[in-house]
Structure 1
Amino acid sequence: MRAALYGSYGSPEVLYEGTLAKPDAGPGEVLVRVHAASVNGGELMGRAGKVRLVTGLAGRGFPKRTGIDFAGEVAALGSPVPGLATGDRVWGALARSQGFGSAAEFVVVRPRQLALAPAGLDLVRAAALPGVGTTVITALRDKARLAAGERLLVRGASGGVGSVAVQLGRAYGAHVTALASAKNLGFVRELGADEAFDYTTTGPADLDRFDVVLDTVGTELSAFRRLLAPGGRMVAVTFDARRMAASLSYIMGSTVFGSRRVRIFSGNPGHQLFAELTRLTQSGAIRPVVDSVYPLADVAGAHRALEAGGVRGKLVVDVRASQVTELS
């Protein structure tokens, strides 16, 4: 089968389309024919060699693989799975123990790692949601316990996680304030933001108090934490890679000192989260936001684009496509 591979750590240019043996579904496993996978920040760090403790232990040697989430169809079942049949449209993500590898023609997963995809949603667009969608549900529903009528601030509101957080915050009945670049202010308002500010001209000192802050940027955590109202909650879904130790120390300290805690979590979503994401998408509460679609042969181009910044929503790798398609 065709798969995105890299033979050494480095820039996006180390990525290439190669071939691997097609996997088989064993007992209790599902073989998925992948239509598309999205590109996530963690994959960029893995490819660049910035998290070698994880990539070195989770996998194999080189060549290594990339891709976390996927959308596709069931190609085979290693044993019967209630509610699942060959040909069913599904979406999901690889288990944490599997590392990366969804940017390929086929993946093998356990039934708990997927759910039926929303009816009528194109699977290439659908691939933009499993990773970021379950992250946002966990962040806002489970960690922050966002309630109707509360004030939510989303940093990085036009990106992959941020664009879903704006939508879900609105669906949960919160008053949503979005921070984004000037060119994306109209875009995040269309997603459901009640207020939108240019992050280059609006700093923490210019903002009001918030019940929940969702941070997708990873810098200035202490400054934005001070915006929390009494009993407020802050959820950080990324770190400043250049100051990871300091960021982690600050977050852990916030759980001990003071009432305004900063929450973090390591995503390893299961069936219930993917099923809830399907429900929210089918209800219209969430829609995928796809900036551009890249063919598997140009997975390096997708990584370059995400590293360059300015992406609206997600970049998707279409395993069957032959050219780049811009959708935003």
Structure 2
Amino acid sequence: MRAALYDRYGPPEVLYQGTVPKPVAGPGEVLVRVHAASVNSAELAGRAGRLRPLTAAAGWGFPKRAGMDFTGEVAALGSPRSGLRTGDRVWGVLPRTFGSAAEFVAVRPRQLAFAPPGLDPVRAAALPGVGTTAITALRDQARLAAGERLLVRGASGGVGSVAVQLGRACGARVTALAGAGNLDLVRDLGADEAFDYATTGAADLGPFDVVLDTVGTDFAAYRRLLAPGGRMVSITFDHRHPVASLGYLLASAAFGPRRVRFFSGHPTHQLLVDLAQLVQEGAIRPVVDTVYPLADIARAHRALEAGGVRGKIVVAVG
């Protein structure tokens, strides 16, 4: 089968469309024919070799694979008690590994859920990873409530574009920080206020009950914007200064009245179900920047690495 592969760590150009054996649905597994996958920032770090200890579960050798989340349809069942049938439209996320940018994936039923009916599968691929992350951040970690003031940093990106919509659905007053060219987009997604991050800094804002950080810099400055009882959730850290950045996050998580909650997304079946429900209710819609064919996987990675992406880069598989 066709799959996105790379034979060494390096820039996006190490990626190519190659051929690997088609997986088989083992006992308790589901074989999914993949329609599309998205490109995630963790993949960029993995491809560049910055996540070697974390990706050991996928094997130390090459070639390595790309892709974390996916949409598709059930092609075969390794267990008749999965609650699924061949032909069912599904979406999901691979746990702690890569490989969804391929024609088929074999996964456990708990790693997927029914995809929202009526949503184009290519556009739907923009949502599983970032959508479940936004739900975990705002609903489960921050416990965002109606009437609270929410600041979203990186509001036009993958997680940010969903977080703005989710914040509005929760009844919060949403302030968005994004690039100058994306302010109309985030307003259309539900932001009450939108500011250019290049001209509006932390000192110009606040206070907020919840700050969602998708950027990973200037933690202390944005933490100071929290009102009493405020919560800050970060989904990333400053890769330029990883030791200092992670050290601050850990210290803040343990001490002080305005703690910063840092987490690495771990999508579950229920989170995927909740996300599908929000889509069906019209609370969340995908934001797709560009769709690339699988053969252009290197260009897809290069586009995300270049920055300025509105929503998600999607890779159409078949």
Fold match, TM over 0.5?
yes
Aligned partners of 1:39 and 1:64: how far apart in 2?
Answer: 15
The answer for unaligned runs of 5 or more in structure 2 is: none
Matches for 1:163-178 after TM superposition, within 5 Å: 163-178=161-176
Superposed displacement of residue 152, structure 1: 0.2
Provide the C-alpha distance between the structure 1 equivalents of 2:140 and 2:81, rounded to a whole number of angstroms.
28
The equivalent residue for 2:214 is 216
Q: Which residue of 1 aligns with 2:77?
A: 77
Q: Which moved more, 1:261-270 or 1:225-234?
A: 261-270
* Deviation per residue, 1:221-272 (Å, 9 max, x gap): 1100000011110110111111111111101111222111111112221110
Do 2:30 and 2:76's aligned partners in 1 also have CA atoms closer than 8 Å?
Answer: yes
Instruction: State which of 280, 283, 292 in structure 2 corresponds to 1:282.
Output: 280
Whole-Å separation in 2 of the counterparts to 1:181 and 1:266: 25
1:191 lines up with 2:172 in the alignment: no
CA distance in 1, matches of 2:230, 2:265: 22
Q: Specify the alignment match of 1:59 in structure 2.
A: 59
- Paired with 1:313 and 1:84, the residues of 2 have a C-alpha distance of 30
The corresponding residue for 1:268 is 266
Segments of 5+ residues of structure 1 without an aligned counterpart are 321-328
| SS of 1:8 mapped into structure 2 | coil
Query: 1:325 matched to which residue of 2?
Result: none
Instruction: Classify the secondary structure of the residue corresponding to 1:311.
Output: coil
Are residue 151 (structure 1) and residue 117 (structure 2) matched? no
Aligned to 1:326: none
Residue 21 of structure 1 pairs with residue 50 of structure 2? no
Q: 51-60 vs 246-255, which deviates more?
A: 51-60
Question: Structure 1 residue 57: deviation in Å?
Answer: 4.6
- Report SS of the residue matched to 1:121: coil
Shift of 1:52: 1.6
Partner of 2:160: 162
1:96-107 to structure 2, matched below 5 A, reads 96=96, 99-107=97-105
Opposite residue 209 of structure 2, the aligned amino acid is D
Q: Distance in 2 between matches of 1:60 and 1:35?
A: 28
Matched residue count: 318
Residue 11 (structure 2) pairs with residue 11 (structure 1): yes
For structure 1, which segment, 74-83 or 290-299, has the greater mean C-alpha deviation from structure 2 after superposition? 74-83
Misfit runs of 4+, over 4 Å: none
Maintained 8 Å contact 1:81/1:111: no
Q: Contact conserved, 1:10 with 1:49, CA < 8 A, in 2?
A: yes
Moved more, 236-245 or 110-119: 236-245
Matched residue SS, 1:134: helix
C-alpha separation in 1, matches of 2:245 and 2:86: 45
How far apart, in 2, do the equivalents of 1:180 and 1:224 lie? 15
Question: Contact (CA 8 Å) 2:82, 2:109: kept in 1 or not?
Answer: no
Partners in 2 of 1:91 and 1:226 — Cα distance? Answer: 38
When structure 1 is superposed on structure 2, of 246-255 and 15-24 the one drifting more is: 246-255
Counterpart-to-counterpart distance in 2, 1:274 and 1:81: 19
- Aligned letter for 1:271? H
What is the CA distance between 1:60 and its match in structure 2?
4.1
C-alpha offsets along residues 179-215 of structure 1, whole Å, 9 cap, x if unaligned? 0011111110000000000100000010020000000
- For 2:43 and 2:69, locate their aligned partners in 1 and report how far apart those are by CA, in whole Å: 11
Task: Find the counterpart in structure 2 of residue 227 from structure 1.
Answer: 225
> 2 CA distance for matches of 1:57 and 1:30?
20
Q: CA deviation at 1:16?
A: 0.2
Q: Distance in 1 between matches of 2:281 and 2:164?
A: 16
What is the identity percentage for the equivalent residue pairs of Structure 1 and Structure 2? 76
Q: Would you say the 8 A contact 1:293–1:317 is kept in 2?
A: yes
CA distance in 2, matches of 1:245, 1:53: 16
Matched position secondary structure for 1:173: coil
Tell me the secondary structure at the aligned position of residue 55 of structure 2.
Answer: helix
Alignment of 1:281-300 (within 5 A): 281-300=279-298
Q: Matched residues in 2 for 1:291 and 1:319: separation?
A: 17
Instruction: Measure, in 2, the Cα distance between the counterparts of 1:295 and 1:307.
Output: 17
Which residue number corresponds to residue 93 of structure 1?
A: 93
Q: 1:146 touches 1:174 (CA, 8 Å); kept in 2?
A: yes
